[in-house]
A and B are shown apart, each in its own frame.
Chain A
């Protein structure tokens, strides 16, 4: 069974731009979570979706948004990029909400 896939793997943007990251969960998994990982802050929870509904949201500004589609694929969007948004963005999927999560390889975003 294929794992969680994330596209793109690497991205370079400039301040003020916006970016959309994509995540395809493991086949059959209906819950998708997004995380931001930086050396200073560790792994920070962004949001969690289950059956196209946002179940939880972390403490990030409104510039960070996400959605989940009927096929469980998910996207997250960051508008008006700031230098501090440079990070590894990880997507994790689970069979149902609350279960074990399995991570994708991540998207490395660099904001210049």
Chain B
């Protein structure tokens, strides 16, 4: 079992819809959770961080954390073509582990 798992995709979502990206992790001692966006040929860019159970909203993005289920998700509302990228989930316990990423494609 991978330490941080993400569906590799591609996930195709129509423009204006909600994109839902999911991530599960294995280390119950994990304390910090991050979502990064990476465009092709670019380095990862931090979108959200979340540290406690529940939802955290920032603009069109909402991160959701459920430590009991070892699950973290990212919702993107009103998806735009510019949201097409690979989304990386990162989880930190003693060290930070990245998932392999989900490719998101927003179709016009």
Contacts and interface: CB of A to CB of B under 8 A. Distances in A.
Nearest to B101: A42
A25 interface: no
Contacts of A56: 94-95
B10 interface: no
B69 interface: no
B71 interface: no
Contacts of A106: 43
A89 to B, nearest CB: 10
Nearest to B98: A43
Interface in A6-63: 33, 35, 42-45, 48, 56, 58
Interface of B is mostly: strand
Contacts of A33: 96
Contact of A98 (B36, B43, B92): B92
* Range, interface on chain B: 20 to 34
B52 interface: no
A103 interface: yes
B55 interface: no
B97 interface: yes
Contact of A42 (B49, B94, B96, B100): B100
B46 interface: yes
A110 interface: no
B34 interface: yes
Interface in A41-99: 42-45, 48, 56, 58, 88, 90, 98
Interface of B: 31-32, 34, 36, 42-46, 49, 88, 90, 92, 94-101
Which 3 A/B pairs are nearest by Cβ-Cβ distance? A56-B95, A43-B98, A103-B43
30 contacts: A35-B98, A42-B98, A42-B99, A42-B100, A42-B101, A43-B88, A43-B98, A43-B101, A45-B96, A45-B97, A45-B98, A56-B95, A58-B95, A88-B43, A90-B44, A98-B31, A98-B32, A98-B92, A100-B34, A101-B34, A101-B46, A102-B46, A103-B36, A103-B43, A103-B44, A103-B45, A103-B46, A104-B43, A105-B42, A106-B43
